[in-house]
């Protein structure tokens, strides 16, 4: 049946190439290094190599503590970080600079993944969160490359999707050498899908160190606003901005609204939307300041969430008001910022539950309820402070996932 999957993938090749070209209109990085996507390597490693795959921005940032741990543990090895998106590739540069090699992971064609593995010859592979590709897993087994699934999460919805394709997914999961699951529920679901050697190691995102320079810049920016309250709409997705701004636009309470869309390709679209809705805005990318009278500050930059969390009083987490699974709320908690989410946080279910139980977050039923909760928090500094302390305490209690991941790595790749 894997042969059928491969033939379908070959049949889809024209549409895959067309999609690269189409996305390249807004994100030129999609038109770069296309040869890498078919296993034709450009880089030439100088030493033994460890390979880690992080599909996009969130996974790249999540894996940072593990990458740095591997660099300390195996200083005589290079680390190659692969991704699939142009934004992910840019984030690799922002987070790691020149300390790692980087490339696009080839599409899951047998020849492409074989060329990739034969060129780089990794001693070990790490897939971050949920990136399981059947031909890649088969090729790794054939080349003797043990593969670990790191920071793994598995929602009920994803389990159902994988089970419908069990003829394809089960052998791929069974080919893993080990799995480091974020929580007990993730571990149970992954075991049900056929993954072996599943351990609960916690969430790597609790170990992420915020960018101190960006955080200080955000605090200075916040101080310049004096007594003006700041509400952050973080990592919003299509359809959410209009609803959230619609709720906020009905009442001007003097607060500054900071809006940070999840995907950079939507920055212009969201700016136009806000203008049509009657908001006067300033844009971070243009160096504009949100002077009095400007209600909206558009965070149209990448890699600056530490800045945005440091400058706000309350954060509303996007991706959670449509059935998209939500976005990571750990960074906000670590910054001591009260969090409000929507109902759809299934990709971060365990973390959301922990944050709500700890008193660090509120989960709302819809955008109207979320805006109401956020406004109530803005008017209650004492409660904000209490929630912020609870968030920092929660993050401190759950650190240590990187070391637990490294212990599993040592068992698969002894010195």
Of 62, 44, 38, nearest in space to 149 by CA: 62
d(CA 183, CA 159): 15
Active-site position among 59, 129, 131, 240: 59
Antiparallel, parallel or unpaired: β 198-200 and 178-181: parallel
Of 160, 35, 31, 181, nearest in space to 105 by CA: 35
**Catalytic site residue 288?**
no
Residue 384's H or E segment, with its range, is helix 381-397
Q: Are 228 and 254 in contact (CB under 8 A)?
A: yes
The alpha carbons of the chain give a radius of gyration, in whole angstroms, of 22
d(CA 54, CA 62): 9
d(CA 277, CA 280): 9
**Contacts of the segment 111-114: beta carbons below 8 A, 24+ positions apart:** 111/38, 111/39, 112/37, 112/38, 112/39, 113/39, 113/139, 114/39, 114/139, 114/143
d(CA 129, CA 179): 10
Q: Which residues are catalytic?
A: 59
């Amino acid at each position: 049946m894997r042969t059928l999957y491969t033939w379908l993938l070959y049949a889809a090749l024209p549409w895959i190439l067309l999609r690269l070209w189409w996305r390249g209109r807004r994100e030129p990085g999609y038109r770069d290094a296309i040869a890498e996507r078919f296993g034709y390597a450009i880089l030439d490693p100088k030493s033994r190599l460890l390979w880690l795959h992080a599909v996009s921005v969130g996974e790249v940032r999540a894996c940072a503590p593990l990458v740095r741990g591997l660099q300390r543990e195996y200083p005589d090895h290079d680390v190659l970080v692969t991704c699939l998106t142009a934004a992910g590739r840019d984030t690799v540069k922002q987070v790691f600079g020149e300390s790692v090699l980087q490339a696009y992971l080839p599409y899951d064609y047998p020849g492409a993944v074989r060329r990739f593995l034969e060129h780089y010859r990794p001693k070990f592979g790490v897939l971050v969160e949920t990136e399981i590709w059947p031909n890649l897993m088969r090729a790794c087994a054939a080349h003797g490359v043990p593969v670990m699934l790191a920071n793994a999460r598995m929602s009920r919805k994803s389990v159902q999707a994988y089970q419908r394709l069990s003829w394809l997914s089960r052998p791929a999961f069974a080919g893993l050498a080990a799995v480091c699951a974020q929580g007990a529920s993730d571990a149970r679901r992954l075991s049900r899908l056929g993954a072996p050697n599943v351990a609960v190691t916690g969430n790597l995102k609790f170990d992420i160190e915020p960018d101190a320079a960006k955080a200080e810049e955000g605090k200075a920016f916040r101080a310049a606003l004096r007594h003006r309250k700041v509400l952050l709409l973080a990592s919003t997705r299509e359809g959410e901005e209009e609803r959230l701004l619609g709720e906020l636009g009905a009442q001007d309470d003097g607060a500054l609204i900071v809006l940070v869309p999840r995907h950079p390709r939507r920055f212009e679209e969201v700016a136009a939307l806000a203008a049509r809705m009657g908001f006067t805005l300033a844009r971070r990318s243009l160096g504009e300041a949100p002077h009095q009278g400007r209600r909206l500050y558009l965070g149209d930059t990448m890699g600056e969430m530490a800045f945005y969390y440091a400058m706000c009083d309350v954060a509303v987490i996007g991706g959670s008001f449509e059935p998209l699974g939500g976005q990571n709320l750990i960074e906000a908690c670590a910054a001591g910022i009260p969090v409000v989410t929507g109902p759809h946080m299934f990709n971060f279910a365990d973390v959301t539950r922990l944050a709500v139980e700890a008193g660090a977050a509120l989960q709302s039923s819809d955008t109207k309820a979320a805006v109401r909760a956020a406004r109530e928090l803005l008017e209650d500094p004492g409660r904000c402070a209490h929630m912020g302390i609870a968030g920092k305490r929660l993050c401190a209690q759950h650190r240590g996932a990187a070391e637990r991941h490294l212990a599993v790595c040592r068992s698969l790749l002894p010195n």
